[in-house]
Structure 1
Amino acid sequence: MVDHKPIFDDEDLQKQNKLWNPEEWIGCGLTYRDVPEHVALEAVRLRQIPSEVLSTLPSELLSPAGFFANSNLPSWDPAYDSKDAADVDFDATEPTLVPQKPSDIRLLSVATIRRLDNTFGQAWFDGKKSIRDARDPNNVQHWPLYFLTYAESLRQTCRCWVAWRAAIFWALEEHDDEEPEEVKWRQRTVNLLSSIVGWSGRVGCGLGDLSYEHLAEVLGENMLMGSVVDALVHDIKTRLTIRDGTSSEHIIGDTMFARCMTDGAATSSEHMGYRLIARYTHLLSSDSASRPRYLSFPLHSPPLHWAACMIDLPKQHIHFGDSLQRRRPQALFDELLRWLTEDVGLQKVKITDDLTCGLQKDHVNCGIISANTLAHAILGDTLWDHRHARTYRYRAFCTIASIILRSQEGKNTVLDVPFLDPFETHTDVETPAAAPAVAPATLHASSQVQRLTDEDITEFLNHTEESQYSVPAKRLRKGQDADSNDEGPVKKRTKTDVNPSACSKAFDNPDEHSSTLNGTQPWATKVAVAEHVQLDILESLRTGGQGNSSRHDRVVGILIKHGLFRGNAAKLERLRRECKRDDGDPRPGLDINNPKQVICSRCAKTVQLKAVYEAGRFREHWRKGCKKTPVPNKSITNFFGPKSASFKPVPQKLQPSEFIKHCPGLTGAVHPRIDYYIDHCPASGAGARTINFYVAQLFEEKRGIVSISDPSLSRKERTLAYHHQSLDRDWRIETSPHRASVVATRCLIRFAVYREADVSDNKVVCTACWAVFLRKEFRTAINRNRDKTYQQLIRTPKLYSNPIQYRLMAQYEGLEALLTNPSKLGVMLRFARGVALGHYNDLKVFLGLVETMVLATERRIRGVGMQNFKYPQEWREFGALIRMTSPRSYRSMAQHFRMESERSIQHTTSQRPRFPLGITEKSFEILAQYCQDYGYPSNYPLCFSVDDTKLFPAMQPLYDGPSKTWYLVGLPGAQQLQVKSAAELETLIDRKHNAAPKLRLWSVQIPFPGIPPLAFAVLPIASKVKGSELV
């Protein structure tokens, strides 16, 4: 038994496992724990992905640009990654599917992969044979057990694709304020995206832990990892060595030095960094003439920041530089002082924050600024300028990519295709033109790329002997005899083994085959093929069929897999004609550099051909009648359009990969105590150091004063110290009418999020505000009890109070009582806040009542009458409606509320134009206004009705405000008698005019429910009136 997890290499996985017997372990009720090594070997072999399945994933030889442009992968959502899919589990059913097309596979979250990985061994012992995916009840899938490894690789590939997509989009974006220098570096970046080889995993090339995913984060507004900072520091070391040689007076440390120093590695011999610190100690404490004068290194300032430091050993001075002018990491500098005094041998070390560095205006470029600070201090580079932040990003990427490119050129690694436009479709080649043979001319001559053509492959096969169809000799283990064979008896000779003796000779000289691919043959001078591609080709030729066409197709398939094949335009056209022949596919999807597949225009599926340029399998697929791709439904607007209009589906817009959000600050949505802190904290901000720190910073060097209580400090000097403290606060309380939150003093204001739901989520804040929330001091501040009595508040020192609040209390009498006695005026305080926040904007009548009562009370207090008092319009209309409905109710309300007098209402009514008698032009103006108020088109139908009402015959004088004339109304018809005086009114009444006993009313209504009718016209009529007269 073994008590550790064994590690197996490829040689262990390939040899025969003679000790393995499935009947002794599978389905026997055993527990997968402390299993023997040969059982663990079989479990690893069971999870190994077959080569034909592994080939469905993108090749690792692709450049980032080629990987992005040529990969067809499922979408990866970071929010889904933490959710465990319970519908995915092991099952005893035999597998029914094999991974063929990554884009058709639903990704597994990392939580699901970890769960399956932890239970894999026990599930295997229990007889499980597949992984069941029942997330879609209508399509339950059973995958082989190695699908767990495949799903993990596919998920990582999709993550890399998302990272490189964001990086490439950022690099391709052109800005209106670009300068020539930025354009030059951006173009270099675009070229290098097509030139470097690799898109996932560690970069290598002497750059430590740097990965391609972290390299992609350089292109964009992203925080940078320590490995990226180390890569930039590596470039500074290289340039310093070129300038000074090995006798430089500078030592440059990487981020590991500061990390080990913070963890106390200098005093702990068990720490992994103890030997590293000891090496620095030996170099700096030596008495030789070549002793370095300066030690420079970048350092991490928690939680999410990078800074720089330089130690001047002869002057015993530590220079610290921070682009955000933040405080120094206390733990690091305490340990650094102890190390310099006790181990290095310095006496009195001084620390100042005077290392020259660029001023940062964001929270993402600190990693580049820290490296630039060291390069400026050591090599004299131009100091960081926030106006050219994008240019510095491009330069940082080009610096690291150039190191990778130089290393790959030294290894003779083949590079990838030129940069492809990511917005261009590459599945169908309408114009048969040969692909470019080399990378852009701006690259170095040794980085030119050339793919293999059919002629190159044919020439290679003609010049290659059977004896060279072998893989390199197996690496012997230590102490193993070269003649021993761990693979059991020798295999029998098959029909494909033409010359087994020649093959055995090839094992004696494993270097012969590589010479065939690296220049000794005539065809090999055209291209350079990576070593692992050579091994794949030679292994395929050795183990597969020996027919010329068979060997040719296998080599082409391997080259297509690695993106190294260049097709023939004439042969591609012949393949296109074969696909179209005999009512075939009228528009097959072809790729000139992948002639082993065709995309069906009817079902959009990719059909793998049996051989290169062989259309037989695709024609069979077409004859079987594949299903048509579903056509999108017609929109409702198209149903109401002209019948002759043809339906053209609108192409779906590309969803943005990121969204710009305005930072809401820290509110109660993040933590419920934040709202309490905003309401009860008297100060306007916090987070600064103690006041004595600023006193020492201002007066220690000149006067030796380190305490605020020193009697030699004047009042003006104390005020200056407190002012410096207020300027150094880490957060402030924002209490404007539109915003009540805690905001970091260096808030980004606008930042990018990657989900549309995060734009409206107040829990998602910028990195600066989130860093404030994570601070221990802020948690202590919001959890402190701040309920104080009035007497406690008036005795609070001015130092801990808000001066703006005091000025407002002095200006507005009564505000102090409102703020300091919330228990007595709780409802009123809530009402005032509600009005400020706009919660009562829709209650116009209520606000009119409040406004009337407040203004009337102020007039009464000042001793001013109510003459010319202007009531709010909504309150006036409400009072007029009540008076018209019930004058008694109106008089009762006027006893409790300030309301307009009845005489004023009558006067206002008299000034309005009277309703016209009969159907006149004014009637149609009123009708047009009625339709306009409800947004009803004037040419649409209306409901028209008429009604007669019996009245008491009477005549009444009526005053017309606009014409300032009296009329006598109540007579039949539209006749109106003008009255010029009271005597004339009596004369007209004495003439015994017959008053109208009836009233005819015409009404119009919009034919929709809930809309009241309009009184269109009225007319007094006699008892006997014919209909023709009325019409």
Structure 2
Amino acid sequence: MSSPRLDIDTIDTLPFNASEWINAGHKYSDFQTNIEVLSERIRILRILEDYAKLLPLTSMSVNSLLVYKLPKLDKEELIGRDVTGFFTQDPSVETLPWLLSRTVPSLKFLKALENAIGQAWFDGAKSFIDGQFQLETRTTSLLFWVISWWHEVHTLYEVRKRWQNTVAWLKEKAALKGPSHKETQDNMKAILESFSWLEWNGTMQLSATISEIARLPSQEWVNDGIINMIIRSIQEDLSKNSALKNYQVVGVAFQYKLSQAAKCKASERSVTFQDFVLCQVEEKYIQEGCNILLFPIHVSNNHWMSCRVDLQTGTVSYGDSLSLYHPREVFGALNLWYKARFAHNCEMKGNILPCGKQVDSYSCGIGRQILALKREGNNVFPIVQATATTAHLMSFSAILSKPSKLLIQSCGKLSKSDSNLDSLMEEIEDSCPVTPEPVTEQTSTKVSKQTSLLSFFAPSSSKKQSHPKPTPPPSPQKKKAKVTAICMNSEDSKHIAGLSGISRSSVKARELNQKDQLRSLEIDPLKWKRFQVKILEVDPHAEFHPTARRQVQCSGCGEWTMGQTVYSAVRFLKHVKENCKHHGKAADKSLPEIQNPRVELPCPGLTAEVHTQIKTYLERSGAKGGGASSLKALSASLFSATWDSLNKLQRKSVETAYMHGLTWLNDHEAKCVYARDCKKIIKIVEGTPLQPCEQCTGLLENIIYNNKKYQNNELLNLSLEFKGLQVLLDYKDRHNLPLPLRFAKLAATGTFDDKEPFIGLLHVMTLTAEHVVKGISLQNMKYHPAFDDFCSVLALQSPAAYQIFRAQLGGRTQRSQHAKAALEPRFPIGITESTFDRALDYIQKVRYDGPLALSCDDTKLLPAYHMYYCKKKEKRFLLGTVGEPLAVADPDELQKFLENSAPQKATKLRLWCLQIPMLGIAPLILAAKTIPNDLDATDLLEYTWKILQGCWKLNLYIISYSCDGTEVERLVQRKIGEKADYTKHYTINHLGLGYDEITVNIYMFQGCPLTIIQDSNHCTQTFRNNLFMGAWLLTLDSYTASYDTIRRAAFMDGNPLYIQDV
């Protein structure tokens, strides 16, 4: 009993009995192709109408799509655990605004949900938990259709990315300079202007959308839909040119129909050759005299070529922009059709059709490569002589300018060209011939992924006439004779068909083919043996490809045939029976016979050309071979004892048994591995690459092999430890060693251990030389920290000097240094909590908990404004003003603000430094503040007091505060002392008679002592300035100081001054 016919438009309206399927213990994988189950799955995954309106409308312009705010994509993967735990039987309670507030999961997570949703649905699940927010107190459950909605968002991101690339390409080409690019620039600008009204996903020809043609002005491969649209544009140009009335151009469906018909039985070809697409070519030739046929050819699933057929003379030629391919299979099918319809064979002329030269990997599908022809010395299409850029532009403009008319009979829609075209042309088994069901092209802009089936091509419903087998064309004066050719109508071609490609056998076949392409297929020995027996029965000398298990080489004609699936011999048997001239009747007797003499050559074994790891294996292993039982197992088998307990004679016997059991042999000199049962001699077609025999190829397995028997770890370690020692010993005159050896000797003794930048320089020079030898770029190279710091300091001091240094000795580029500096934390603005956090981190890194010293000083500042962006606060600030930095809300309005009411510019920068009173520890710049010249002690006290309080709050014990000796600074110190909780006075008696005692005041703040001192360096500077900068008189308390006083003090016994300083 045949299965009921499935209507795609009404599949989701079929009744579904939930009690029969849900919570009934069914396994979803056993019923996923059931029409009732499929119908209900489509229904529950369909996006609700209200939520579909949240996505951009197809009528929206391209420019609007580029600025449309889409939900953000989640960059984190949620595949850390089994996704089956995300499904729940609770109904969803979320509302419409919620969907836009969440991020969209990754495609990998959505794919995992789609794979698990079937069984979860059968187990009673009604919704799923949003894995991104499942740790919240309130779980978020969603209906299944949200998965489809998320998929649409990902698709929109892909389409928008394509349009962004298109706009970028157009702008790049529009910026080309020169008179030769003037016309191109104008066209580019016109297209860019059209994006303001052009619908981003509007309906185009052949059920395509405008977003698909965005592939043209980019480096993406074009698909069949774009090829058909370009051909449709050329068809319209042909119809307007009376000089080309004998030309006819057809789309990709012509090649598809030819290949489909050629795979049928010989008895059925007369019927398949009456397909509408093929019959229409004959009709235009007989009725209108269109004897020149042009159509595109798709080869190797990645390349387009153009073909020209003269239906009157039977000559066939093609144009290949790469001059690499020979479409033998297409020409064979074309010859079968021509011979059946015109009673004689074609004449193949080869790659003589003029076409543009392709210099890239993506422009083979552009119009100038598809239909690049010449006629009577003049170009048929101007696009032939265009450059690649002009060809892209002309094709893009031509498609947009043509009306959206559809001629299914001349151009059909196939799958994307970057998919496997051979998988669409499924071979027709002898036992069940199938004729494709004609369907009319749909004009909707969206087709659900769950309902998209393979489209076939047939005439429209208005075509009812019949066409018998045509005869050769009449003379020109009889061109309008009545046509008697017969073409199948749509009613005769109907058949009962169900879903294809989703059965368990189809899924299994696709999995086998994918594993075979990835070279990860584990061969089933029994199935492989049966497959070989079928092949060798019809061709005893056939060769099997060593890695691509689907390919078999015919010994008669030397042609490689790829099976539909692994272990399938149908295509090869059909080739031997129908196409090969040496094993049966050839389908194309007019083609010149290919002489492929077979030669006998020795098997090359497994080398690095077959598998890259062969070389590594032979370099690491010293064994003569492998694959035998271990010595331990052989010892137990032969003598029922362990290897260690065997005597010398017994061990010799075990080693001999081991050698006899080797599965493969290693040739370390030739870098080859041979099977023990290698065929030695193989027969191949002359000129084809030499491949190892089947026995050698069967050795390739990914197993762990570590032959420790042939490794001497002691000698290996000794060699590594003293590598290069022999070079030192070879020098007879050890007192005149070369400089590198002298340096190595000093470096080995630790002479340069304290010269870290120098060691870092050697490290960089060595790495650079190694990269150059290996042909590796210097990107992402790791620099020695000490050398890196040295380069940073040098670049800051003198960028020009660093450029000279780097050119000779290496180092980061200044751009890389800026990028590295940008990763460092920014200095905090003003005096904030982060100021004291830095201080706490400063002492914790050195594990210090003792007393600290605080110092303060001012420095001159060039008055200027500067914009600064704070990442932490996410705001822009205006620096250089007096007081706190000003936040800038609108940078564009800043200039007007400065012109109307410019804030006062700072002329000084006040710095506070925190110092650990120990040698060898650098101070920390704690805070910085911009100030004017006229601040008094009260204002300065506020800043210092805030710093002291912040440090004491974090238990940072500051015991001294120092500054210069100006009156303002000393007044600040006195005001700090006035704020003390109490003061301790310590008196020190002077050692000299008659001198006053020295009193030291210690101010106590929250139990922490603080001394007020003047910086010693500032004190020395003050004395020098006062003595030697033209002062009239220096007073020291009740005494005066002059040059004579200083000179006498310098020459007296026990003086503290150096004579040269005086």
**TM superposition score category, shorter chain reference:** 0.3 to 0.5
TM-score normalised by the chain length of structure 2:
0.38
TM-score normalised by the chain length of structure 1:
0.39
